[in-house]
Amino acid sequence: MNKVRLGIIGMGNMGSGHYSNIINGKCPEIEVRAVADINPERLEWTKSKNDEFRAKNPEIPDVALFSDASEMLHSGLIDAVVVAVPHYDHPRYSIEAMRCGVHVMCEKPAGVYTLQVREMIAESEKHPDIKFGMMFNQRTNCVYRKMKEIMDSKVLGEIKRTSWIITNWYRPQAYYDSGAWRATWSGEGGGVLLNQCPHNLDLWQWICGMPVLVDTKMHFGKWHDIEVEDDVTTYVEYKNGATGTFITTTADAPGTNRFEVVCDGGTLVCDGGQVILKKLEMFESEFTKINKVPFKAPACTTEVLKTDGINDQHVGVLNAFAGAILRGEPMTAEGKEGINGLILSNAMHLSAWTKSAVTLPFDEKLFKALLMEHVKNSRRKENIGSVLSNLEDTYNS
C-alpha cells in the first residue's frame, strides 16, 4: 500500500472540508474512495465535485457513494475512515469500523458521555493493528506545541495556576437557527462545551494535566434562544494544590482568547498568536524563603518565544494519520486521548446540574442518567428515540 484508501462518513461541514483538502492534493498519501451520507444532496455534491476534478485529472479515483455507512464499512473499498457525523454517533461508527478492520479518525468530540467513549476505547484495544486517532487539529498549532514543549521540560517547575478565557467563539442566533439539531440535548448533547470547546479542553489538559476537582457555574440559553449552555465559568483544583479557571461563551463579541499558565519559575502566556515566557531568575518558592525585603519580587525576564510557524490543522492530522497507517509513525492524537477533554466537559455539566463541586473520577452513570433526562425533554423530538437507545449500551452487542 502506498496510498490510504479513505472513506468519509458524513459530508456536512467537516466531512466536505476533509474531502476538499484531499482532492485538492493537500494529503498526497490519501485517496477518497467512498463517502456515506443519509442526505442525497450531499452525495450529489460529492459526485459533482469528483466529476469536476476527474475531468481535469483522470488519475483521481472515482468515489463510491453510499446512503448507508455500514455498507461502506463492509464494502472492502476503504482502508480507513473519517467519522464526521453528529456527536452521539461518533462511538457507534468508530466501533463498527474497527470491527470491519478499518482504521479510524474520529472527529471531535469523541462522544457525548464518557461511558460510550470508554466502550470505543475498549474496542480499540481489541484491535491493536487498527490505527485509531482523534481529530484534535489544534494540537498542530505551533503556539500550543511550544507551550506543551515548555511545560513538559519542567523548566518552570510546578504549576501554581492555570487560566483560559476563551470567549472568541461568538455565534449569532442565526447560527443556531440554521439547523434543528444545533444546540439541543438530543442533537448535540450540549452547547459551547460540546461544539466549540472540545479543542480547548483537550489542549488545556494536554498542556497542564487533568485536575482532581471541578466546580462550575453554567447558564443555559442565557444569550440565545437555545436549550443548552452558552455561558460557562469553571474553577478546578489539581493534585499538587494548583488551581485553574476556564471561562467560555458564544455571546461575547469580539471575545478573548488568552491562555495563561503560572508556575513556580515563571509564567507562560498565549495571546494574540504569540507565546510569551516570563521567566523568574529564581523559583518563587525559593525566593520567598530567603528574601528579607518587603514588597520585593524575584527578577523576571520577558521573551516572545520563537516557534517553527507550522500550523497544519486538519491537513496535518490527516497526513500524520496516513503516516501511521503506512509506516507506523505517530499520530497527532491517539483515539484513547479523546476521553480526557470529555471528562472535563461532563464533569462541568454534572457540577452545574447538581450545584456542587465534582471530584474526578466522577459518577459517570449519574451523569448519563441526568443527560438522558435532558434528552427526553429536548425540543428536537425526532432524534430522541435513537439517543435514548444508547441507554441500553448496545455497542457491545
243, 236 contact by CB (below 8 A):
yes
209 and 149 in a common domain: yes
Whether pTM > 0.75 for this model: the answer is yes
Length of the chain: 397
CB of 269 closer than 8 Å to CB of 259: yes
Residue 364 lies in a domain: no
Beta strands in the chain (DSSP E): 4-9, 30-36, 64-66, 80-83, 103-106, 132-134, 159-166, 213-220, 229-237, 243-249, 257-263, 266-271, 274-280, 300-304, 358-359
Is 197 found in the same domain as 263? yes
pLDDT tens profile 350-379:
999 999 999 999 999 999 999 999 999 998
Q: Are residues 145 and 286 in the same domain?
A: yes
Q: Is residue 338 part of a domain?
A: no
pLDDT in tens, 104-142: 999 999 999 999 999 999 999 999 999 999 999 999 999
* Full residue range of the structural domain in which residue 283 is found: 140-304
Name the pLDDT band for 384 (thresholds 50, 70, 90). confident
Report, as an integer, the average pLDDT of 150-170.
98
Domain count, the chain: 2
Whichever domain contains 159, its CATH number is 3.30.360.10
pLDDT at 73 over 50: yes
